[in-house]
Structure 1
Amino acid sequence: MLRVRDFSNYKFRPHAVGKLMKGLPKPLTPDQSKTFVGLIEKRRKGTLTDAQTITLADLIKKKNARPELSEGAKTYLKGIFKDEVFGRSKNVQSKYLTKGIGVEDENINQYNEVHGTFLLKNETRYENDYFSGEPDIIEDGIIYDFKSSWDYETFPLFEDEVPNEDYEYQLQAYMDLIPEYKQAKLVYGLVDTPDDLIIDEKRRMAWKAGCIDGIPEDLDKEITNNMTYSDIPKEARIKEFLIYRDEKKIALMKLMIDQAREYLNSLNISLATHLQLI
């Protein structure tokens, strides 16, 4: 018999919170805000046309839109529900994740070498009412999270803003877990791909090219060159993004977690109804 799971206090891992934040209402653009203020003034004076009344109503609706879980977020939550209720866990593996885990220490060592620091891995897990997580590094008032780019093409050397908004939510969650911390650094590093992944990539390319006896020598060298970076200065293989604590963003994350908990609990009812029908 299945045990009903109460998700009212379910805690989310910081790296997963971004999945709940998709499809949030967009704020009014500067032009829309200007139009909104102008139409409010016209309404006060009683000079709104019918068309302007409709426009104002649309802007008010957009301005006051309540954040709601997207369909993608609900799909993700259904997966959590199945894992928890049925006692199963879906281990997602990819070459990108495998590399990230495999070179994490090397990534941190590269950063230490370039910056003359002595950052050490954090081994403490933190929890509060909403989150449970283990930041990569906590040092000198800053929380660090390291990401390993798959290759130089995906390395955000010239980006001015965080390329993946999920990572910003992740670091905001870490800062909420350690309230005295007001800053975090998202550090992208580019380090050599482990040999086994290079071999796998060559096998994949050989299969794709239909090369039964292995790939041509020039392609073999090209793949190795594209996945190793000793010829590139280490300074050009590190990209940092400084992220400041944002109380509004943290509050919004908690609002979405409250909704996620409600949705997870509603799935108990859906499951019970399903079982009664068969």
Structure 2
Amino acid sequence: MKSLFENWKPRASQIGHLMTGLPEKFTKEDETKLAELLEEKQTGKNANGRATKWTDTKQSSVDELNRKKKGIDELPTGAITKLEEIFNHVFWGRRKLIFNKYLEKGNINEEDSLDLYSKVDGTSYWKNDEYFDNGFVHGTPDNITDELLRDIKSNFEYDTFKKAELTSLYSWQIKAYLWLTGKTNGELCYALVNSPAHRIDAEKKSLWYSVGMPDETEDRWIEAASQLERNHIFDMAKFKQDAPGYDLVTPIWSFDIPSHMRAKRFPVTLEDSDIEHMKRRSIMAKEWLLKREQEELNLINKK
């Protein structure tokens, strides 16, 4: 029987889940610490010559330093948790459905976010539709130019944009895209663009219930709904173009944010060591899934 995971490989968006807890370089400080611990274990005295008790914590430190010295790599708990989710989806067809307003805006506003960066940089960026697969990872980057590869994230509102940073998950996603495309330099690009009109309406409906279903002429409703509009509209001319005739609650609009202040970039580079780490973890993840599949088949066939 052919394995469901025979040709499996992580998507670029998944690879970051597998890249935590990578082996670290064994330093001279590590070597000294290991020697001191082993001496203490053997003699019952620490580096200062004082009698000590050997503990499980000290033994764990010795074990960890030995693993580090040998360069042993193991899938961390977080990676195994992600692989278990992948296994349940592929093998059993079961997975948690994730549909929320944050993902919805990110998907809907991809083109708007690229347009924002085009405006800021004075050029034209086009969404990439080419799919890449190198046997270890696969995916479709958002934008590729001669100079840079870009991955665009559309923030839900102003607060999330201000807090947005280069996370390890996104960094590895872009590194995977760089590997796939043969490039070495990329950018994580956060974009603060208008929410679509139907999303603003949905937020208003939720807000209306939250504040006790007031009459829409009440000052408290006008104030709350106006604040919500300001939280989701950053370029009024663009909003009116996309949603002509939309009935705004805000009486006077003077809240646009300049384009260049709605674009936030973080550079990402690809090193040879990154490729080796991704190759190794991709293989380890596939081996884990193959083993997990066999365990599940054994349980199914058990009588």
User: TM-score band (shorter)?
Assistant: 0.7 to 0.9
Q: Determine whether 1:172 maps to 2:159.
A: no
Q: Determine whether 1:36 maps to 2:35.
A: no
1:75 to 76, 81, 93: 81
Work out the CA distance in 2 between the residues paired with 1:267 and 1:58: 26
Aligned to 1:236: 261
Label 1:25 to 1:125 Cα distance change in 2 as closer, same or farther (>3 A): closer
Q: In 2, are the aligned partners of 1:135 and 1:144 still within 8 Å (CA)?
A: yes
Quote how far apart the aligned CAs of 1:200 are. 1.6
2:157 to 140, 144, 151: 151
Aligned to 1:21: 19
Larger radius of gyration: 2
Quote how far apart the aligned CAs of 1:219 are. 0.7
Say what the alpha-carbon RMSD is for the aligned residues: 3.3
Label 1:125 to 1:51 Cα distance change in 2 as closer, same or farther (>3 A): same
Work out the CA distance in 2 between the residues paired with 1:36 and 1:90: 42
Aligned to 2:297: 272
Work out the CA distance in 2 between the residues paired with 1:196 and 1:117: 30
Gaps of 5+ in 1: none
Work out the CA distance in 2 between the residues paired with 1:86 and 1:234: 46
Q: Using structure 2 for the length normalisation, give the TM-score.
A: 0.76
User: Structure 2 counterpart of 1:204, which letter?
Assistant: S
Quote how far apart the aligned CAs of 1:247 are. 1.9
Quote how far apart the aligned CAs of 1:146 are. 0.7
Work out the CA distance in 1 between the residues paired with 2:291 and 2:15: 20
Work out the CA distance in 2 between the residues paired with 1:73 and 1:204: 36
2:102 to 75, 96, 105: 96
Identify the structure with bigger relative contact order (alpha carbons < 8 Å, sequence gap 6+): 1
2:146 to 130, 140, 144: 140
Q: In 2, are the aligned partners of 1:36 and 1:59 still within 8 Å (CA)?
A: no
Work out the CA distance in 2 between the residues paired with 1:39 and 1:17: 33
User: Structure 1 counterpart of 2:175, which letter?
Assistant: Q
Higher mean displacement: 97-106 or 69-78: 69-78
Label 1:39 to 1:78 Cα distance change in 2 as closer, same or farther (>3 A): closer
Q: In 2, are the aligned partners of 1:141 and 1:182 still within 8 Å (CA)?
A: no
Count of residues paired in the alignment: 267
Aligned to 1:120: 126
Q: Using structure 1 for the length normalisation, give the TM-score.
A: 0.82
Q: Determine whether 1:163 maps to 2:166.
A: yes
Label 1:151 to 1:67 Cα distance change in 2 as closer, same or farther (>3 A): farther
